[in-house]
Amino acid sequence: MTSAKAARKPRRKKEKTLAEDVIEALEAGKPVRRDFEGGRLHIDRPLPFLCLHIGDPEKHVVAREVAAANASYLLASRMEDAVALLAPIAQLLHRKFGAFLLMDVDEFDRDRLLSDDAPFLQPFEVMLSATRGAAAKRAVDAFEAAVEDFEARFRTPHVETCAAEDDPRVRPELLALRFPLLTLRFAPIYRVPGSDDMYPELRERLIDNFLDAGLRAFAAFLERDGFPKPVTYRAFGRKAFVDAVERADRGMDEVASSFDFLLAVTPINANAAWQEFKANDYGKPPRFLYRPLSLLVEREKRRLYAIVLDRLEDPVLHQIYREKQQELDLQLTLIAEREKARFVEFGRALYGPVERSLLKAASEVLEDTADARRMPSLAPDNDEVVDCFYVERRARSMMMNYHERYDGFDAAIELRDDVPAGLLVSGRRLLISRRTRMMRHRVDALLSHEVGVHLLTYFNGSAQGLRVFRTGLSGYEGMQEGLAVFAEYLAGGFTPERLRLLAARVVGCDLMLAGASFVESFRLLTREHELDAETAFGLLLRVFRGGGLAKDAIYLRGLLSLLSHLKAGGALDPFWMGKISAAHFSVMEELGARGLLKPPILRPLCLETERGRARLERARTGLSPLAMLQA
């Protein structure tokens, strides 16, 4: 009876091997990320190539990271593990695409060309080989050309090429697979001679450059084999974030959300300070009061630098987060130095100096608009002064319009007594000072600035999947303010007085950075440039806040940068994807081409009007800030 029961017992289902599991996922078009003893396979989507590193993971670390920076890679410590996966994967992908290229990446054990007594830094070895065939030859030529274009900041590459079949360093097991093969070997110049230390900047540069060269090689190989040409060769890069990216993004956002930099350094007694300054006949500097700090700067810095960035496997994202980490560090330092002598220097480091060209442009604006009252006015005959409640109603109407187009546009409005007259965006909130008074014809233009750019890019950035695009990439504020001022122009509310204010802010920042006092700066602005006393005070409050902050020079700087971008034929859409700087424009285009970013969900309402579209086209033909007043 026992034997009969045993006979009826069902057989145990045979467990799938790793290779079978991977092939099943690839056949279904699914991404693959499998860790195994001594290695990892990552294919974020089926592609007609795979990058490979075989060896001790602690030995040739940059070669391993070059391979792992690709969208499709295999890391293995043992050759037999690699071949067991490579053979079925290569066959499947070749069958799917009609072409397949394997790239093997490794390092030499030592830097043979480096000597201690040389009077200059010698070239470093790069050895390339490829199997015979027109497509593989095209790939190795593209790789060689890219390597020779490396920026020669430290050491220049000395490249040698040969046929893989004649290369004694080529692994015979890979040749036996009978698929096109490209090999890369390079000298470990990122290591400090005679120690286990590394040159971190050089390490990152090598990874970035060799990744770029590899993508160029893949594109050249596939183009020769008739593969459809992508918009850019960088489109063959990653199209998925690894978990480490999301952890770093979340950690960075938590630190960024723990404080509001501008509120922390902006006085809360603007009106009282103005009254005191006026009562002292403008001869005694005002006393500014600030909010008590609700954060421990040292604790936030510890949290900031506890964020791990060396596992992101994507040099572009690594650079984005490293820059953001440094910017947040500088903002936290500024908060800690508030009202101290060193504040102004840290502010200079964050926002930069006032360039001579920028100061010249600002001076020309002030000179050419010296009598703004004689310039054509945009104000209708029935224009009037409106208060904060009118601004609030108009803001709610505009926000509702955006919300109807995208329900993720979930902004809030706060009327505040502790901010200077005007409007301010903080995260998803629009802060309106109760002291706000303005001409009615300026309201929609100013809301196009604050809601149509600052809030819009916050919510568009939120939709990208990574929070850094809503809090802002490093240095984003200049282009962001340039876009916001340009939106005022598109909305039809850009006035001579507004342009004069932007130019005067540049002059105020330059005076402050040069060591002028509040009173000295006030006298120059009111006497030489004929600003009225209250306007000059409000401008200088922003410039001297915290101890001296040169932020306000970015408005005119950003506007000039944007106008130059448009004249050169540049697109605007990448700027609506989130809060980015001009320096990140190509990065956004690449991430978009790789499928990592979505097109902007919302675009400013001022671009939907006939007037807005006409003014944008006018700007594309070339426009100066002064010409914007007549356009």
* β-pair partners for 614: none
Note the Cα 352 to chain centre separation in Å.
18
- Token pair 């200088």 is found at 540
Residue 271's H or E segment, with its range, is helix 270-279
Dihedral, 161, 165, 168, 173 alpha carbons, nearest 10: 130
Q: Is the pLDDT of residue 372 over 90?
A: no
Q: How confident is the model at residue 119 (pLDDT cuts 50, 70, 90)?
A: very low
Q: Is residue 118 classed as helix, strand or coil in its secondary structure?
A: coil
* Average pLDDT score, the chain: 92
Determine the Cα–Cα distance for residues 6 and 343; give it in Å rounded to an integer: 82
pLDDT for res 150? 84
**Is 90 exceeded by the pLDDT of residue 363?**
yes
Q: Is-contact 552 539, C-beta < 8 A?
A: yes
Average pLDDT over residues 298-321: 93
Q: Say yes or no to pLDDT of 631 above 70.
A: no
Q: Tens of pLDDT along 51-92? A: 999 999 889 999 999 999 999 999 999 999 999 999 999 999
Range name among 148-152, 250-254, 448-452 with the lowest pLDDT average: 148-152
Looking at residue 231, what is its pLDDT? 80
Nearest to 625 by CA among 539, 503, 453: 503
pLDDT over 70, % of the chain: 94
List the one residue out of 364, 604, 611, 601 whose CA is nearest residue 502. 364
Segment 380-393, tens digit of pLDDT? 666 799 999 999 99
How would you write 170-203 as a 3-class SS string?
A: CCHHHHCCCCCEEEEEECCCCECCCCCCECHHHH
Instruction: Determine the Cα–Cα distance for residues 222 and 225; give it in Å rounded to an integer.
Output: 5
pLDDT of residue 381: 61
Q: What is the DSSP letter of 52?
A: E
Burial track 389-416 (b if 16+ CB lie within 10 A, e otherwise): ebbbebbeebbeebbeeeeebebebeeb
Q: What is the pLDDT of residue 1?
A: 45
What's the pLDDT score for residue 14? 64
Residue of 156 and 427 predicted with greater confidence: 427
Instruction: Read off the pTM.
Output: 0.87
DSSP letter assigned to residue 158 = E
pLDDT given for residue 181 in this prediction = 97
Do residues 217 and 146 make contact, with C-beta atoms less than 8 angstroms apart?
yes
Strands 49-54 and 101-107: parallel
Q: Which pLDDT score is estimated for 379? A: 59
Measured at the CA of 500, the angle between CA 499 and CA 501, to 5 degrees, comes to 90
CA nearest to 476, candidates 574, 554, 581: 581
Average pLDDT for residues 17-32, to the nearest whole number? 92
Residue pLDDT, tens place only, 585-604: 888 888 888 888 999 999 99
pLDDT above 90 as % of the chain: 81
CA 181/CA 101 separation, integer angstroms: 6
Cα gap 459→534, rounded to integer Å:
35
**What single string gives the DSSP state of each residue in 474-504?**
TTTHHHHHHHHHHHHHHTT---HHHHHHHHH
Main-chain dihedrals φ then ψ at residue 84, nearest 5 degrees:
-60, -30
Closest CA to 278 of 505, 537, 481: 537
Among 233, 217, 224, which residue's Cα sits nearest to residue 104? Answer: 217
Residue 273: what pLDDT? 97
The model's confidence at residue 507, banded by pLDDT at 50, 70 and 90, is very high
- Return the ∠ at Cα 597 (arms to 428 and 410), rounded to 5°: 20
Helix (H) or strand (E) segment spanning residue 207: helix 200-224
Return the number of other C-beta atoms located less than 10 Å from residue 564's C-beta.
14
pLDDT of residue 267: 96
- What is the third-level CATH fold of 18-238? Aminopeptidase (3.40.630)
Yes or no: say if 164 and 170 are a contact pair by the CB < 8 Å rule: yes
pLDDT category, 579, cuts 50, 70, 90? very high
First CA to last CA distance, the chain = 99
Give the β-pairing of 385-387 and 412-416: unpaired
Check residues 168 and 227 and name the one with the higher pLDDT. Answer: 168
Structural domain boundaries in the chain: 18-238, 260-294+337-629
Three-state DSSP at 437 gives strand
State yes or no: pLDDT of 44 exceeds 50: yes
Strands (E), 265-392: 385-387
pLDDT tens column, 155-202: 789 999 999 999 999 999 999 999 999 999 999 999 988 888 998 888
> Closest Cα to residue 439, out of 502, 394, 474?
394
Please give the Cα distance from 253 to 273 (Å, whole number): 34
Q: Is the pLDDT of residue 227 over 90?
A: no
DSSP 360-407: HHHHHHHHHTTTGGGSPP---TT--EEEHHHHHHHHHHHHHHHHHH-T
* Contact call for residues 160 and 154 (beta carbons, < 8 A): no
Q: Which H helix or E strand runs over 573? A: helix 573-576
How confident is the model at residue 10, as a pLDDT? Answer: 57
Least confident of 297-306, 364-373, 449-458, 485-494: 364-373
Q: Could you tell me if 52 and 82 are in contact, meaning their C-beta atoms sit under 8 angstroms apart?
A: yes
